[in-house]
Structure 1
């Protein structure tokens, strides 16, 4: 791939590395630090994604180009050496935080110094929200995916919706709240409920601003359910968003690239539950993926165009999955959210969309690594 030029903002997020170093890396096997696990509720999902990526790196074509260095982060935040990380990959199970062979919280395994490029695949808080990206940026080593800004904006639903609004992308009506408003005295809360009912109506969805994979999200159909949902969301985050419910089909598009990204074909998610919550998302048989989505060609083209606009709006890089509501009755397409570090198992929507678009899983992993290097040139 051709190396893209960097603007001032990108130079801040991705410090330049010595070009001689880049050339030296290109002439030998690239040491890929596969970083997984982490301190979030999606720890197990991260392990599954890492297993799939590790398998792709061992494919015949990639094995001649890359050397895998797995690094595992326990649920308590302690980084584990490749030997332990490999054992976690093989077992598919989290490591106990009571293990005595861990280094301290702020001590990294020596293997960290050998990494040429990082492939972080930590989902949720402390992984895809810009915190880890900030650390990797300080290491001055290329890494797959969005930088600090793109990751943080993509993770924070309020900041994300603000960016989408600025980009002119249509969305469902929503309100933003704080924990202080929700947990204020009893005189204020009824007025807050009245305002939500008058502005958004029922059903509506209550979401913490900074949790991934539908964690903490609830659907409210009555005042009682609304109050319960708001109280629960406030226990997860100090900032909350409430969205109007919409009767629509849920469709998704994958994006790949840096300054000149491309969009995949569009897929659709169907499910039998009340809404696409965490249990539905990660329980076998609860949701089905339709690829390509059975929608009109002009709607698919519109979704692809909007996906690229969303990618640019949050300053994403490398990869992202963009989710939409397609209101079939009116032909309206509304953007829901962007995920800058989506699930990456062979059965996840993101790699399946690219496979249907002509890019096989090992090739996709290879392209993402090359895009990480491209951002540093």
Structure 2
């Protein structure tokens, strides 16, 4: 297709909004992002939107990729990657840096740059650092391109579990006991950091959960039964993030709730419950994505508990100044209180993921959910809230 056919002038806007689905990225959640993008590409209404798939390789190259959802799934326990989908090993997609232009350009060595036309909205489906943490959102703000989901501040808060918990506490939401080990502390006073962890365990008991403070998809998380397991857990977590979060075990049921932005404000879905996974110590990456462990939707809660967790999910959404979508994760503890564990500003978004399943049970099918998110982003671009 020629650049003349792809490029649109401001006086002659697209007949249909063009959605750039951006996926992959430099984080350890690269493959899960590719899987999510495949589901989104499969579900976008092509009679309503034009679609431009853009993958970011693990080394950070923005690549034009095949629009091939069938190649973007986990198959025989093999994880997909952007490198497998890129149309060229050297081609690069360049976003505009001038808010007056939304034209995307494609370059290859030795070739004349090719205009791919304007982009009306970006649907980012990147998980983890360099995508879900506010960095991509900041780039899109500079470019003046509307995008689906949380803004810079709420994306950063949603990625950093320490500051997420601090914000929740300031808004009166109950969080579980936790301890933060910062990079400088572990590197320069490892013995002191260990003492703090041992004191924390003495106060709250074993097991503890050791996790990257800024990560997702349950990667890098270890359940530590005693001091002898600590070194390995710290090494595993630090492989994903130098700042470490230590959490006490909250005994109770795991409850999740989806929040979605409508024209009149955010609303919560029916909640779900994540039952214990007999083959895993906890709901880790293998359980979620490889073995496809699943939750119960709707959660078997009383009407009062259901109303309460839905209210708290919306409060968490508002506390972190979120937009678009959020999955809020709670524990229902042994005293019958909801303890918020975290929010995900870009939760797992494959059709079998908990967020879409909760909304399906609430009456919104996956393609409609994708459409509602795109429409919310387009509304924000015109100043309508």
What's 1:86 paired with?
Answer: 67
TM-score, normalising length from structure 1? Answer: 0.85
Q: Partner of 1:207: helix, strand, or coil? A: strand
Return the match for 1:312 from 314, 318, 325.
318
Matched, 1:37 2:24: yes
How many residues are matched?
346
Matched-pair contact (CA < 8 Å) for 1:193–1:223: no
Return the match for 2:91 from 103, 120, 127.
103
Matched-pair contact (CA < 8 Å) for 2:257–2:313: yes
Q: Partner of 1:50: helix, strand, or coil? A: helix
What's 1:267 paired with?
Answer: 272
Q: Partner of 1:265: helix, strand, or coil? A: coil
Moved more, 255-264 or 311-320: 255-264
What's 1:350 paired with?
Answer: 355
CA RMSD of aligned residues (A): 2.3
What's 2:223 paired with?
Answer: 219
Matched-pair contact (CA < 8 Å) for 1:203–1:219: yes
- Relative distance call for 1:28 and 1:340 in structure 2 (3 A) is same
Q: How far apart in 2 are the matches of 1:331 and 1:242?
A: 24
- Relative distance call for 1:133 and 1:242 in structure 2 (3 A) is same
The structure showing larger relative contact order (alpha-carbon pairs under 8 Å, at least 6 residues apart) is 1
Higher helix proportion, which one?
Answer: 1
CA deviations over 1:216-275 (Å, ceiling 9, x no partner): 111111111134323432343232111110221111100000671000000111222211
What's 2:149 paired with?
Answer: 145
Question: Deviation of residue 95 (structure 1)?
Answer: 4.0
Q: How far apart in 1 are the matches of 2:313 and 2:238?
A: 30
Matched, 1:67 2:50: yes
- Relative distance call for 1:30 and 1:230 in structure 2 (3 A) is same
Question: Deviation of residue 111 (structure 1)?
Answer: 5.5
What's 1:236 paired with?
Answer: 240
Q: Partner of 1:249: helix, strand, or coil? A: strand
Q: Partner of 1:123: helix, strand, or coil? A: coil
TM-score, normalising length from structure 2? Answer: 0.84
Matched-pair contact (CA < 8 Å) for 1:207–1:242: yes
Q: How far apart in 2 are the matches of 1:189 and 1:295?
A: 40
- Correspondence list, 1:48-67, <5 A: 48-57=35-44, 62-67=45-50
CA deviations over 1:266-297 (Å, ceiling 9, x no partner): 01112222111111111234x22211001111
Q: How far apart in 1 are the matches of 2:194 and 2:348?
A: 39
Q: Which runs of structure 1 show a deviation greater than 6 angstroms over 4 or more consecutive aligned residues?
A: none
Matched-pair contact (CA < 8 Å) for 1:200–1:243: no
What's 1:9 paired with?
Answer: none
Q: Partner of 1:96: helix, strand, or coil? A: helix
Q: How far apart in 2 are the matches of 1:352 and 1:99?
A: 33
Q: Partner of 2:21: helix, strand, or coil? A: strand
Q: How far apart in 1 are the matches of 2:53 and 2:115?
A: 9
Q: How far apart in 1 are the matches of 2:12 and 2:168?
A: 40
What's 2:176 paired with?
Answer: 172
Return the match for 1:293 from 299, 302, 305.
299
- Relative distance call for 1:190 and 1:124 in structure 2 (3 A) is closer
- Segments of structure 2 that go 5 or more residues without pairing to the other structure are 1-9, 73-79, 96-104, 107-113
